[in-house]
């Protein structure tokens, strides 16, 4: 489903590669944790999969397509095959829960009959039935992340990427969210790739674990726990280019969609 | 993208950014109004040319006893007049028509035109020279007549009524140039304002755009609402400009409607309807170009 072949990614203003000669394959329907300290290249891996960034060398294949050969106008089609969930939820604050989920279908031009059918169905799947009319700010963090997951899977994409989806949540809620992702994985057969540094979750679920350290693949276990080689050594996160979907979660994530004067 | 969803998006966008939308409408209106005025002035000149060129005449004035022109030692003789008449006949078809106006006829016409003024007492028969009034099939070939008869025996002077009209045309041409120059400046303002408005609109909807990119909305789906909003604002501006043109034409030439002769030589509603599609097309082209370039430049999709 997702294959990395000798992938190296170096950001323009960085000397050290964010990913260093990574080769791995994630099969259809797998649930994979990507672990490692901050700056180890977890997010970069996910960014390459939705072609938010090109690789420096090597190739990333998604559903059999080499992303380096994908013309820019076909990138939207790729992203329709991939749902994405972030640490900071990224809900539209002026839309209700239902509208937030429906938005993902509306902008793809889905007929409103389909939308009326899929949205409640998906809200039920994520455990939010009856809360469709709430506004995001009326929900708890865990519930907001459920809305974000509903939005990511409402179009039934074969791949779901989650970048630290539990980073803003307390441990109990975190476990609920990961169980939800696991149930999406089993119910829909969705390939789930989750970047995290939450050891409790990883140890609890006992799924495939890919560990990165300074951009290097150091461990790939079929059923592993969260064991970091050098947990004290925290690498510095790379400086992301402007206008990036992976903006710093502390900042307003959408600030850079519109470019400045440069 | 469904039409209803698109229209809803456009409506929300315009409402959220109302003051900017209004300023785009107004600036577009003024720039297209000026452009329209320029185009109408040009049409006015064309209408006048069409109307008056058929009617302007070249006058060949004969020598009188009082002529001070060195070409006129004596008053014109019958032989000289016959010569001129013969030469004019040879110049057909350039010469479409020739009227001869005797001194008496010239005096009568003058007396008729100025019958209620004291001028009439100062003029006697013979003060206005007899003349050939020549109508040309091509009024621009006045020079041929002038060079043939200027200095011919018995000819005092050759004058062309067209010269008077040319002055008027040059005024209209100047007016056109000023109006179009101003229009260009205003069009630049309109384009810059559109670009700023789009950037602001894009910024106020950056979250939506971010989600759209993420879920794989096509570039067109992301851009279309902005382009549609700009087109709507520009077209409303163009419609208002056309309204202003109607008001302006009515104010400038509307009072002459009672005068049948002038009415035929001035522009009217029909001319505005000729200019309106040009302005509308211009508005749409400007809106599409500006929004496409701005979005391409500033919006990451």
Q: Is the pLDDT of residue B258 over 60?
A: no
The residues pairing with B59 across neighbouring beta strands, listed in sequence order, are B133, B159
Q: What is the mean pLDDT of residues B179-202?
A: 89
Final residue of a domain: which of B144, B161, B178?
B161
Q: Is-cis flag, bond preceding B93, omega within 30?
A: yes
Q: Which of B132, B161, B190 is the last residue of a domain?
A: B161
- DSSP-assigned letter for residue A258: B
Same domain, B24 and B103: no
Sign of the dihedral through C-alpha A152, A154, A159, A165: positive
Answer positive or negative: Cα dihedral of A201, A207, A212, A218: positive
Residue A236: what pLDDT? 56
More confident residue, B106 or A238: B106
- Return the half-sphere exposure (C-beta side, CA atoms, 13 A cut-off) of residue B259: 9
Taking any CB pair shorter than 8 Å as contact, residues of chain A touching chain B are: 50, 73, 75-84, 90, 92-93, 103-104, 106-109, 111-112, 151, 155, 243, 245, 253-259
Overall domain count for chain B = 2
From the list A201, A123, A134, A128, the residue with the least C-alpha distance to A162 is A201
ipTM of predicted assembly, 2 dp: 0.84
- Are B216 and A73 in contact (CB < 8 Å)? no
Q: Are residues B98 and B29 in the same domain?
A: no
Q: Are residues B177 and B35 in the same domain?
A: yes
C-alpha distance from residue B241 to each of A156, A241, B202 (Å): 50, 45, 27
B294 with B170, same domain: the answer is: yes
Residues of chain B with pLDDT > 90, as a percent, come to: 23
Residue B300 touches partner A, C-beta closer than 8 Å = yes
Measured CA angle at B23 (ends B22, B27), to 5 deg? 120
Nearest CA in chain A to B200: A258
Based on the domain organization, do B212 and B272 belong to the same domain? yes
Tens of pLDDT, residues B267-280: 788 888 999 999 99
Shortest CA gap B214–chain A (Å): 7
Residues B118-144: tens digit of each pLDDT: 777 777 777 788 888 888 887 777 778
Where does a domain end: B127, B161, B195? B161
CATH number at residue B68: 3.30.70.3040
> Residue B219: its chain A contacts at CB < 8 A?
73, 76
The closest CB to that of A155, out of B207, B210, B215, belongs to: B215
pLDDT surpasses 90 at B287: yes
pLDDT at B260: 47
Is B206 touching A (CB cutoff 8 A)? yes
- Where chain A has pLDDT below 70, the residues are 228-257, 259-262
Q: In terms of domains, do B103 and B70 share one?
A: yes
Q: Report the largest interatomic distance among the alpha carbons of chain B, rounded to a whole angstrom.
A: 99
For residue B207, which residues of chain A lie inside 8 Å, CB to CB? 90, 92-93, 254, 257
CA A55, CA A5: separation in Å to the nearest integer?
10
- Per-residue pLDDT reduced to its tens digit, B51-69: 777 777 788 888 887 777 7
Tell me how close the Cα of B301 comes to any Cα of chain A, in angstroms: 8
Are the C-beta atoms of residues A27 and A203 closer than 8 Å to each other? no
List residues bridging with A161 in a β-sheet.
Answer: A84, A193
Q: Residue B263's pLDDT band (boundaries 50, 70, 90)? A: low
Q: Which residues, including other chains, have CB under 8 Å from residue A128's CB and lie 6 or more apart?
A: A97, A143, A146, A147, A150
Write the CB contacts of B263 (distance below 8 Å, at least 6 apart in sequence).
B256, B257
Q: Judge if B173 and B291 occupy the same domain.
A: yes
**If you average pLDDT over every residue of chain B, what do you get?**
83
Looking at residue B97, what is its pLDDT? Answer: 83
Residue B16 with chain A: CB contacts under 8 Å: none
Q: Which residues of B254-293 are buried (b: 16+ CB within 10 A; e: fewer)?
A: eeeeeeeeeeebbbeeebbeebbeebbebbeebbeebbee
Within this chain, do residues B241 and B194 fall inside the same structural domain, yes or no? Answer: yes
pLDDT at B164: 74
Question: Alpha helix locations (H) across chain B?
Answer: 3-16, 18-53, 78-90, 103-113, 142-149, 162-204, 206-215, 219-253, 260-264, 269-298
* Residues B176 and B263 grouped into a single domain: yes
**Mean pLDDT of the region B7-23:** 86
Which of A55, A79, A82 is closest to A69 using CA atoms?
Answer: A55
For residue A202, give both structure tokens. Answer: 């990883």
Please report, in angstroms and rounded to a whole number, the separation of the first and last CA atoms in chain B.
Answer: 16
Q: Are residues B62 and B132 in the same domain?
A: yes
B296 touches chain A (CB under 8 A): no
- Calpha distance A228→A42 (Å, rounded): 14
How many whole angstroms separate alpha carbon B130 and alpha carbon B55?
20
Note whether B43 and B271 are within 8 A (CB): yes
Residue B257 contacts A, CB cutoff 8 Å: no
Domain that holds residue B113: 57-161
What pLDDT sits at residue A249? 44
Check if the beta carbon of residue B60 is closer than 8 Å to that of residue B84.
Answer: yes
Handedness of CA A81, A87, A93, A98 (dihedral sign): positive
3-state DSSP call for residue A129?
coil
- B183 and B37 in one domain? yes
Same-domain pairing of B46 and B170: yes
> Which residue among B202, B213, B217 places its CB closest to the CB of A258?
B202
Q: Which residue has the higher pLDDT, B22 or B266?
A: B22
Q: What is the DSSP letter of A15?
A: S
Task: Return d(Cα A12, Cα A17) in angstroms, integer.
Answer: 10
- The model's pTM is 0.73
CB proximity B196 to A under 8 Å: no
| Residue B250 sits at the chain A interface (C-beta within 8 Å) | no
Of A109, A245, A258, the CB nearest to B213: A245
């Amino acid at each position: 489903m997702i294959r990395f072949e000798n992938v190296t990614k170096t950001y323009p203003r960085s000397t050290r590669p964010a990913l260093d000669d990574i080769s791995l394959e994630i099969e259809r329907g797998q649930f994979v944790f990507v672990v490692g300290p901050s700056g180890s290249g977890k997010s970069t891996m996910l960014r390459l999969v939705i072609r938010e960034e090109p690789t420096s060398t090597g190739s990333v294949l998604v559903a059999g397509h080499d992303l380096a050969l994908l013309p820019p106008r076909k990138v939207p089609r790729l992203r329709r095959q991939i749902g994405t969930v972030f640490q900071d939820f990224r809900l539209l604050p002026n839309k209700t829960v239902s509208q937030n989920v429906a938005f993902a279908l509306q902008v793809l031009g889905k007929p409103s009959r389909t939308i009326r059918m899929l949205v409640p169905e998906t809200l039920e799947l994520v455990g939010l039935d009856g809360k469709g009319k709430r506004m995001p700010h009326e929900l708890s963090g865990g519930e907001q992340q459920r809305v974000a997951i509903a939005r990511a899977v409402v179009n039934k994409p074969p791949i779901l990427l989650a970048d630290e989806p539990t980073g803003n949540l307390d441990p109990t809620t975190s476990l609920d969210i990961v169980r939800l992702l696991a149930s999406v994985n089993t119910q829909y057969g969705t390939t789930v790739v989750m970047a995290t540094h939450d050891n409790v979750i990883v140890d609890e679920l006992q799924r495939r674990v890919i560990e990165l350290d300074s951009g290097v693949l150091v461990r790939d276990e079929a059923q592993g726990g969260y064991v970091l080689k050098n947990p004290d050594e925290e690498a510095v996160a790379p400086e992301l280019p402007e206008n990036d979907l992976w903006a710093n979660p502390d900042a307003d994530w959408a600030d850079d969609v519109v470019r400045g004067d440069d | 993208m469904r039409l209803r969803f698109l229209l809803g998006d456009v409506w929300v966008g315009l409402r959220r950014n109302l003051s900017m939308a209004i300023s785009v409408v107004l600036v577009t209106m003024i720039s297209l109004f000026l452009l329209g005025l320029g185009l109408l002035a040009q049409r006015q000149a064309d209408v006048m040319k069409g109307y008056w060129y058929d009617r302007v005449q070249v006058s060949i004035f004969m020598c009188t006893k009082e002529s001070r022109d060195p070409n006129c030692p004596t008053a014109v003789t019958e032989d000289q007049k016959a010569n001129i008449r013969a030469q004019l006949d040879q110049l057909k078809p350039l010469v479409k028509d020739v009227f001869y106006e005797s001194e008496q006829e010239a005096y009568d016409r003058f007396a008729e035109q100025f019958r209620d003024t004291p001028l009439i007492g100062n003029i006697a028969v013979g003060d206005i020279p007899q003349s050939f009034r020549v109508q040309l099939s091509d009024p621009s070939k006045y020079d041929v007549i002038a060079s043939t008869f200027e200095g011919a025996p018995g000819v005092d002077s050759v004058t062309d009524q067209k010269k008077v009209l040319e002055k008027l045309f040059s005024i209209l041409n100047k007016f056109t140039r000023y109006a179009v120059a101003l229009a260009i400046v205003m069009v630049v303002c309109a384009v810059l304002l559109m670009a700023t408005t789009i950037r602001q609109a894009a910024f106020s909807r950056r979250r939506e755009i971010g989600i759209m990119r993420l879920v794989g909305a096509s570039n067109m789906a992301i851009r279309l609402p902005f382009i549609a909003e700009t087109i709507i604002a520009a077209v409303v501006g163009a419609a208002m400009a056309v309204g202003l043109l109607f008001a302006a034409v009515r104010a400038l030439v509307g009072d002459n409607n009672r005068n049948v002769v002038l009415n035929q030589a001035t522009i009217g509603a029909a001319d505005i309807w000729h200019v309106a599609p040009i302005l509308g097309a211009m508005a749409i082209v400007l809106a599409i170009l500006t929004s496409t370039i701005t979005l391409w430049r500033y919006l990451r999709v």
